[in-house]
Structure 1
Amino acid sequence: MGRVLDDGAPAHSAATRHTPLVIAHRGSSQAEPEHTLKAYQRAIEEGADGLECDVRLTADGHLVCVHDRRVNRTSNGRGIVSTLELAELEGLDWGSWKAAHEDDDEVPDRNRGQLLTLRALLTTVLETKRPIGLAIETKHPTRYAGLVERQLAKVLADFGLAGPPEPGKHWVRMMSFSQLAVQRMRQLCPDVPTVYLVEDSMPLRFRDGSLPKGVHTAGVDVRLLRRHPRIVERQHSRGHQVFAWTVDRPEDVDLCLELGVDAIISNRPRDVLDAVRSAR
């Protein structure tokens, strides 16, 4: 990792300023079940600069790494995450839905099917010897509203990650499509950089490169970049960074490199890393 920008944003040195960070979307989720420890361990092994995760609050107040409101798609259970307690969620299989491509004689890997809590993921990040980042998206709307960000702030404080990012250290960013959530996090953890996520429905008032107050990074849907590539230039002209998601197709990786985005979030971090190295 290189220097740290004024807003705490991780960036490369001036000599490599056009080299984007590569962030693993829900882990190396093309190869492994999303949001499982196995997916994140693989992303770290592949050399990803950072990891991305979605968090939701359980009925008993734990932050778990699950994208969907319901557990149906990525587990063998049914129901809404926010109405289930941690013990119930931990009793589900979160890996079998994705083909394992493993020999029948091999011992099953529990890391491939266990629910992952945010605390467990942070422990894995901090145990990694090289600096690695974690981009945490809080999902909204939810019945718990601001309690999600309050719990996130507490967890980050418990792990010593609520302070200003430092060069050569692990870093954290909070992300959300909700302006209220981003503003709430700024109040709770003013030193943790935030990312405002935008897609096709990006508010018109932000298309000139502006962002909500205190936010210095736009997380832009790659489909929006295809249609409006000048978004990157406009954000950069205001001193902002651009994180592009979810970038898996080779032509989209090439587009992001051409536009000079600051981070590429992908389900296929190894492929993106290879493309970035080839483009140097």
Structure 2
Amino acid sequence: MLKYILGGLGLIAVGLAWFFWPVMANNMESHTIDDIKEKDFIIVGHRGAAGHAPENTMASFRKAIELGADVIELDVHRSKDGHLIVIHDATVNRTTNGSGAISAMTFDEIRALDAGSWFGEAFKGELAPSLAEVIVGINGEVKVLIEIKWPKEGLYDGLGKQVAEEVHKYGAEEWCIIQSFDSKYLEEAHASGYNIPLQKLLVSQTSLFFVPFHQDNRFRLGRASTTHVESINYYHKMINASLVQRHHEEGLTVIPYTVNTTDEMIKVLGMGVDGVITNYPDVALALRNELK
């Protein structure tokens, strides 16, 4: 009996090591500002400047540009009546004064909600914009990184194609980028034929004991597909220098999320990443200026 118990504990230990290996590898790395002198990097404003303004609103996007972002990142869902709405969660509960699933609400119902007051009274009356409003409003001033989300269950049918068509409609292929955790959306966007750059989001990816696995919106065995994508964007605590180097050898960039402090930025930049996705573009810009 003891033999079986010890064997079981051994398997559990191996499983835990396999699961936590990316975090362990990340924590073993240490970098200082001297390691990254003169390094340039891309600053991506996460949901605009989510540390300074209500996420995914025009106020947040404008703030990100003001604070030095090269790219603004946003999230897209689809309303009940087929409109592309810029909001992160599958429901309006957290970031508006309403409640309900995006996929069960019309565009007008969502637009009637206050998407700013939850962050601060100064932002009262901010609305959840449509993707078209953002594209027209930004008009190539900076690049726009569009993350395609999913409803509370399953995926939105054909949303990758719809987003690509919206970008094409406004002639924004040169300065819009599409990213997602789900490869199906990226495949749909690629199949549209509009040549919009694509990026793949991942939580982690590793090979421990020769068993590759990756985690995006679920755990999957095998390497994540990099077909048609130009960048692999990981959760910043799940990367290490060897992983970044491997992707660079594949011709891919790595831009981790969500990197909010100077120390975190120095650490991942020391691993060789090409940029950071951050709630605080001003913090990233201050560091970039210091490195010049």
Query: The TM-score by the shorter chain falls in which range?
Result: 0.7 to 0.9
Aligned to 1:239: 251
Asked if 2 retains the 8 angstrom alpha-carbon contact of 1:210 and 1:235, the reply is no
Asked if 1 retains the 8 angstrom alpha-carbon contact of 2:165 and 2:192, the reply is no
Residues 1:230 and 2:242 aligned together: yes
SS in 1 for 2:186: helix
- Counterparts of 1:212 and 1:148 in 2: how far apart (Å)? 20
- Counterparts of 1:179 and 1:254 in 2: how far apart (Å)? 30
Asked if 1 retains the 8 angstrom alpha-carbon contact of 2:73 and 2:146, the reply is yes
Deviation at 1:190, TM superposition (A): 4.9
Deviation at 1:127, TM superposition (A): 6.5
Q: 1:120 to 1:159 in 2, by over 3 A?
A: same
AA at the equivalent of 1:192: I
1:68 to 70, 79, 89: 89
Asked if 1 retains the 8 angstrom alpha-carbon contact of 2:158 and 2:188, the reply is no
Residues 1:32 and 2:53 aligned together: yes
Deviation at 1:239, TM superposition (A): 1.2
Aligned to 2:72: 51
User: How many matched pairs?
Assistant: 245
Deviation at 1:201, TM superposition (A): 6.4
Aligned to 1:151: 162
SS in 1 for 2:254: strand
AA at the equivalent of 1:135: L
In the alignment, structure 2 segments of 5+ residues that lack a partner are 1-36, 216-221
Q: 1:109 to 1:69 in 2, by over 3 A?
A: closer
SS in 2 for 1:41: helix
- Counterparts of 1:17 and 1:263 in 2: how far apart (Å)? 14
- Counterparts of 1:133 and 1:62 in 2: how far apart (Å)? 22
2:203 to 183, 199, 203: 199
- Counterparts of 1:192 and 1:206 in 2: how far apart (Å)? 25
AA at the equivalent of 1:217: S
AA at the equivalent of 2:230: H
SS in 1 for 2:161: helix
Asked if 1 retains the 8 angstrom alpha-carbon contact of 2:114 and 2:124, the reply is no
- Counterparts of 1:127 and 1:50 in 2: how far apart (Å)? 10
Asked if 2 retains the 8 angstrom alpha-carbon contact of 1:146 and 1:184, the reply is no
Aligned to 1:117: 130
Structure label with greater radius of gyration: 2
Residues 1:80 and 2:101 aligned together: yes
Q: Between Structure 1 and Structure 2, which shows a larger proportion of helix residues?
A: 2
- Counterparts of 1:233 and 1:214 in 2: how far apart (Å)? 19
- Counterparts of 1:233 and 1:55 in 2: how far apart (Å)? 31
Residues 1:41 and 2:62 aligned together: yes
Asked if 1 retains the 8 angstrom alpha-carbon contact of 2:38 and 2:291, the reply is no
SS in 2 for 1:232: helix
Residues 1:214 and 2:214 aligned together: no
Q: Residues 58-113 of structure 1, C-alpha deviation per residue, up to 9 Å, x if partnerless?
A: 0111111111011100011010001100100011111111134x5xxxxx764xx2
Aligned to 1:187: 191
Percent identity reads 26
AA at the equivalent of 1:155: E
